[in-house]
Structure 1
């Protein structure tokens, strides 16, 4: 796996340093930019994309137009960008399954070779929540309960192969337990059944369950990132709760077609770094459960390669198959 990761990183470096269409950086952009969002309007992905598009339009003095292209688990819109002219005028912000899908599906594009990374937009930690009827108030107690229970615990997920699903399987593998996964078509039905006590555990993004945590209808045991969440600062991480190294963080990144001129990538990255550092932008993203990120294009490329490798291992070990 390390050899594969090294090879993919080399591919990224080669793509970014190869002979690309040239133009003076001062010429870009001179017309509107299209930002493809591969989900329907509404929701965290769409909100984040529109927030960045608004600020980027002002910074570039050119319209950045968001176009929603839902379908095929987010792959329809992504494919459109993979085959677009690599001139800096077509971008995509894939959904959080972007690094997972290559391990589950035969895709009409190459997730690594067909895109030029621009910037890591933001990260989305999950929170491990349980129904209050589950007699466990921390990760250690949950693991002990699962090991000693005559009937296996079950956990909801928001769809086969989603981050919520893989979080549960990684938790199983690292803790030595075997909770049973119950598939739902989206996070809404999963939360509804968790509130009703029909399932016991769920790895959720924070906004859909925060009010239920605050009201006591759900118990928050831990967050899944490497640091505590600003939205739930009193809740420890899974890693500090007894499973060191546990890290499940969904993310949004901005990509262009492979071969996009470096001058365009650099201009976009420079402006977006500034935008993501704006206090009001950070507050608005945080309110939607997204922790603003930033960094270089190379950093996003490495992030993608790492997660493809990481989730591929979890998927193979858990025997997960595309539905």
Structure 2
């Protein structure tokens, strides 16, 4: 297979994007940091992208998991990279963490945006043994028994937690948050009926819905999703103003050569438009996003402001 560099790819870009790095890039293997443990959606996305990205760049892309403190440990490690050959996968948690952790081991200025990657929708699910089959029925039950219904999450500050907290806030419900260390143990207790509800990813909860062990009531995203087209959005189901789009994106430390930034962003967009890559993402419930470095910068600013205000108002604290 012919090996190509980003400089070759840059030949197809408009002239303003053709600023050349001092030396050809990449010169060696790249490291793609995932600030969460192996096995989750963000890790799967990184591994789906690493192969074709490496082929296009002519250098291998190795995924490195650096988990801890809600993603801040690995993000801090990536921020310190000065080799110009480090990339970073982030999730919506990247926009939430500045409000959760007062002393982060990095600043947003330590990174440059590469581009958005995908959204993995969360769905509201309840144990099949519970009688609720709509959001309205669940809300009515929560209002009949204020402060007694519980919602599970994969940990404080995750999109799963934020969705539950936002649901309670917008619907005026007194729900009790039950945090777990990861989605898997939370789903186990949900299926067993030890908790009442959960906003979980379609990847994780979907098989349990298909098997009949969980019932799905709505999707958290602003629009319905292809994987479950009959499932209403939370807004459609009566919770006005509700929208949680659990997005994932790629950043790079500022040490990334300036001339490599636009070509790398263009490469990511091209890979996400590739039917083979999109099909692999669909298998994990991910829907590719469109956009570039500028649109990602705008998304980060908007989401950081939105979730920061909500976290502070709701008094959400890290575990």
TM-score range relative to shorter protein: 0.7 to 0.9
Residue in 2 aligned with 1:19? none
- Give the 3-state SS of the residue equivalent to 1:134 in structure 2: coil
How far 1:191 sits from its partner (Å)? Answer: 0.9
Go from structure 1 to structure 2 and tell me whether the alpha carbon gap of 1:315 and 1:24 turns closer, same or farther (over 3 Å shift).
closer
Q: Is the 8 A contact 1:25 1:264 kept in 2?
A: no
Structure 2 counterparts to residues 206-221 of structure 1, below 5 A: 206-221=202-217
d(CA) in 2 for partners of 1:79, 1:176: 37
Q: For 1:156 and 1:68, how far apart are their aligned partners in 2?
A: 25
Please say if residues 86 and 258 of structure 1, whose CA atoms lie closer than 8 Å, have aligned partners that are also in contact: no
| Alignment partner, residue 242 of structure 1 | 238
**Aligned twin of 2:25:** 28
Does the Cα contact within 8 Å between 2:203 and 2:285 map onto a contact in 1? yes
CA separation of 1:316 and 1:150: change in aligned 2, threshold 3 A: closer
Aligned to 2:5: none
Q: Take 2:147 and 2:308, find their aligned partners in 1: how far apart are those partners? A: 29
Matched, 1:38 2:35: yes
Q: Is contact 1:39–1:95 with CA below 8 Å preserved after alignment?
A: no
In structure 2, C-alpha distance between the alignment counterparts of 1:269 and 1:66, rounded to whole Å: 18
Deviation of 1:68 after TM superposition, in Å, equals: 2.3
Matches within 5 A, 1:43-192: 43-85=40-82, 87=84, 89-105=85-101, 106-110=103-107, 112-149=108-145, 152-192=148-188
- What TM-score, normalized by structure 1, do the two folds share? 0.87
Q: SS state of the match for residue 113, structure 1?
A: helix
Root-mean-square deviation (CA), in Å?
Answer: 1.9
Count residues in correspondence.
300
* Contact 1:222/1:237, CA 8 A, preserved across alignment: yes
Measured in 1, the distance between the counterparts of 2:66 and 2:128 equals 39
1:224 equivalent in structure 2: 220
Aligned to 1:278: 274
- Quick check: 1:37–1:49 contact (8 Å CA) kept in 2? yes
Q: Stretches of 4+ moved more than 3 A in 1?
A: 22-26, 259-262
- Unaligned runs of 5+ residues in structure 1 are 1-21
Aligned residue for 2:14?
none
CA drift at 1:259: 5.7
Return 5+ residue gaps in structure 2 as ranges. 1-18
Helix, strand or coil at the partner of 1:239: coil
Per-residue deviation at 1:26?
8.5
Once residues 275 and 33 of structure 1 are traced to their aligned partners in structure 2, the CA distance between those partners, rounded to angstroms, is 17
